[in-house]
Chain A
Amino acid sequence: MSKNTLCLSVGLAAMLSATPAMAQTEIAWWHAMDAELGQRLEAIAQGFNDSQDEFVVVPSYKGTYPETLTAAIAAFRANEQPAIVQVFEVGTGTMMAAEGAVNPVYKLMADNGEPWDPSAFLAPVTGYYSDTDGNILSMPFNSSTPIMYYNKDVFEKAGLDPETPPKTWAELETMSRQIMESGAAPCGFTSGWISWVQLENLSAIHDQPYGTLENGFGGLGTEFTFNGPVQVKHWENLKNWADEGLFEYGGPVGGGDAPPKFYAQECAIYMNSSASRAGVINNSKEFEVGFAPLPYYDDVTTDPKNSIIGGATLWALNGKDPAVYKGVAQFFTYLSSPEVQAQWHQATGYLPITNAAYDLGKEQGYYEANPGSDIAINQITRGTPSANSKGIRFGNLTQARTVVDEEFEALLSGSKTAQEALDAAVERGNQILRDFEAANS
């Protein structure tokens, strides 16, 4: 008897939990945006939900970028995947190789009769996220690029012109020294994301290859080549500057110790993502912040190339009902509308991903009212992108970046020279690329 009751109640529970989804189609959206950014993201989902009553987008925060990716992969393997997942640019290679897991956005939009025009997006964004045939596989959402933040008050105290930030690394070096020697601040500069800012972007800006086969865009057989003379010289400089105290290391991966150094006015200059803008403004009430493009070596190039993208895109995962994909397609259209994009861009510091959103911001007079807010977009769109500045695409890039961080730490501790550290990073990185190639072919 008790067995029967159990069966009955289980069946009843299953029926009950199945009913509420009937009215509206639910679209699960897993993301990695916390705090202020998370609220902005939820506002976008709410905006879409209010604009129609057929679909409900349900955003859920799944932790950091790597955690979100891992959660989505685990869910996919258990057949519990969300319809949309936000994956950071580092995971792009991994996602692109997983053809069976992904519903490519260009196809998704065509299948559901939604308008889709790749040329509406900013060129560097399209370039970074297209496959070799030129199709965009995931929906660009939050793209950023590293820029330089500096403390105008400290510049003034050190006897520097607060309106002329350093343009080149040589200028940055002399200015940092002047800042230190005048006692205006104990350290010249710090940086978040060593791998992304001081190696990947450094290579792009100076038109140096990061890997073979067009920085990995050409196929899985790619190899790292970031141990060239420009990169070696830069790392050597960073090591010397660290020894002198001009540069302070902010830790591996994102460099969590870097922002406090800048906020506490310990370091006068800080390089990090343009999406740090909101945080920087919030945390610098005590001093005035200036914004500038990343510096370059004028003995290497007089015409610095565009910087490259960071941030994330939205991937539609396979294995859902057609009705769900219809909703996803409509949501993507809503998401890329100029109003939604412009608002997201202006509130967060991420790039406006469409030309229309950028134009809307110009019309609104946003860039004049907020000096420095167009630094990132100007830097990423300057010049004609070369094969070396189009972006990078490597599988298992998370691991490869960890290797870069580790070798950078070996350099700082003095156990390796810049050449040795970069050679080791290339060698270990190539091993990781071979693993990825072997697992995906």
Chain B
Amino acid sequence: MQTKRTIFPNKFLPYALLAPQLAVTLVFFIWPAAQAVKSSFEREDPFGFRTTFIWFENYTRLFSEPGYLNSLTKTGIFAVSVTLLSMSLSLLLAVAVNRVIKSNRAYTTLLVWPYAVAPVVVGILWWFMFNPTIGIAPYLLRGLGISWNHRVDGNQAMILVVIAASWKQISYNFLFFVAGLQSVPQSLNEAAAIDGAGPFKRFWTIVFPLLSPTTFFLLIVNINYAMFDTFGLIDATTNGGPNQATNILVYKVYADGFLGLNIGSSAAQSVVLMLIVIALTAIQFRFIERRVQY
């Protein structure tokens, strides 16, 4: 691979040009992250008068706490469900739109809309529709003989947040899939069609493998989204309840730190989260770099 090299006549200019970006990274990422790491080894009262260094006690406590292990499991279930649901639905929609000759622009625009809605607004929207007292969905479900009360039933609460989170992510995935589909050479499809392969066979043997870089990229992005970007949605729909049924890791960090004022434990949790993000990002770069070339 070729790289373009620019030679600066002034020695300091390149550093000066880099400085704003580095400053932003330092102030808004490195410094707070370092603070979190520091706090995670301490026990402190909320006002910060008494700070005790306690080594790994916050971490050991964390992993022996049933609530945290529960949160890990719930996060896993949530992330996998959201990823599967939103990716399969958006692939389906993208393939459908790709086959429509007329007005596929209009469909695309409509399908992208949900992405413009803020997570909290999405949360409120679904909270409204599924509110056990005033919502339309429980009312309709009652007609089908299903009693909906996600305030008490943990599984229903999980279903609700999975649907809400997936609905929001479908647009994003859809855009990428549409772009990916358009880059699949039409000639391959036509050749296969002449050889007598039906639409299903063509999709699974030609289109889907060629889409795999997009799919893999989206897989990582979706897992990241479900794990870290759904705080507002959880806060607006279920508050992590009932009985911690939807208390995913990122929400627990907030609840323990900001509502419970337990800074040490909250910091330890966010450090664990940070490690997960780093691992996911590393996997993404490693595999995408490798698989993207063929």
Given A257-B132, A261-B133, A409-B242, decide whether A439 and B47 contact each other with a Cβ distance below 8 A. no
Contact of A98 among B45, B151, B154, B260 (CB under 8 A): B45
Question: Does chain B have a CB within 8 A of A356?
Answer: no
Q: Which residues of chain B in 82-138 are interfacial with respect to chain A, using CB atoms and an 8 Å cutoff? A: 131-134
Write the nearest CB–CB distance from B227 to chain A, whole angstroms: 22
Instruction: List residues of chain A with CB within 8 A of the CB of B50.
Output: 439-440
Write the nearest CB–CB distance from B123 to chain A, whole angstroms: 13
Contact A98 B259 (CB under 8 A): no
Question: Does chain B have a CB within 8 A of A251?
Answer: yes
Write the nearest CB–CB distance from B155 to chain A, whole angstroms: 9
Instruction: List residues of chain A with CB within 8 A of the CB of B258.
Output: 66-67, 70
Contact of B151 among A97, A251, A396, A410 (CB under 8 A): A251
Question: Does chain B have a CB within 8 A of A285?
Answer: no
Cα A349 to Cα B81 with chains together (Å)? 46
Instruction: List residues of chain B with CB within 8 A of the CB of A266.
Output: 133
Instruction: List residues of chain B with CB within 8 A of the CB of A407.
Output: 243
Instruction: List residues of chain A with CB within 8 A of the CB of B149.
Output: 249
Write the nearest CB–CB distance from B150 to chain A, whole angstroms: 10
Contact B242 A398 (CB under 8 A): no
Question: Does chain A have a CB within 8 A of B273?
Answer: no
Instruction: List residues of chain A with CB within 8 A of the CB of B154.
Output: 409, 413
Contact A410 B260 (CB under 8 A): no
Residue of A nearest to B152 (CB): A412
Contact B133 A98 (CB under 8 A): no
Question: Does chain A have a CB within 8 A of B43?
Answer: yes
Cα A439 to Cα B244 with chains together (Å)? 25
Write the nearest CB–CB distance from B151 to chain A, whole angstroms: 5
Contact A101 B134 (CB under 8 A): no
Cα A398 to Cα B134 with chains together (Å)? 28
Instruction: List residues of chain B with CB within 8 A of the CB of A77.
Output: 47-48
Instruction: List residues of chain B with CB within 8 A of the CB of A70.
Output: 258-259, 261
Question: Does chain A have a CB within 8 A of B153?
Answer: yes
Cα A253 to Cα B151 with chains together (Å)? 12
Question: Does chain A have a CB within 8 A of B255?
Answer: yes
Q: By DSSP majority rule, is chain A's interface helix, strand, loop, or mixed?
A: helix
Given A94-B46, A98-B47, A100-B47, decide whether A260 and B133 contact each other with a Cβ distance below 8 A. yes
Contact B243 A413 (CB under 8 A): yes
Contact of B47 among A101, A260, A399, A410 (CB under 8 A): A101
Contact B152 A396 (CB under 8 A): no
Given A98-B46, A249-B151, A249-B152, decide whether A398 and B260 contact each other with a Cβ distance below 8 A. yes
Instruction: List residues of chain B with CB within 8 A of the CB of A398.
Output: 259-261
Question: Does chain A have a CB within 8 A of B44?
Answer: yes
Contact B261 A264 (CB under 8 A): no
Contact A439 B133 (CB under 8 A): no
Contact of A253 among B46, B133, B239 (CB under 8 A): B239
Cα A257 to Cα B153 with chains together (Å)? 15
Q: Which residues of chain A in 60-110 are interfacial with respect to chain B, using CB atoms and an 8 Å cutoff? A: 66-67, 69-70, 73, 76-77, 94, 97-98, 100-101
The residue among B49, B134, B152 with the most chain A CB atoms within 10 A of its own CB is: B152
Contact of A257 among B151, B256, B260 (CB under 8 A): B151
Cα A412 to Cα B151 with chains together (Å)? 10
Question: Does chain B have a CB within 8 A of A200?
Answer: no
Instruction: List residues of chain B with CB within 8 A of the CB of A251.
Output: 151, 241
Interface residues of A (CB under 8 A from B): 66-67, 69-70, 73, 76-77, 94, 97-98, 100-101, 249-253, 257, 260-261, 264, 266, 396, 398-399, 402, 405-407, 409-410, 412-413, 415, 435, 438-440
Interface residues of B (CB under 8 A from A): 43-50, 52, 131-134, 149, 151-154, 239, 241-244, 255-256, 258-262
Q: What 3 pairs between A and B have smallest CB-CB spacing?
A: A409-B242, A409-B243, A399-B260
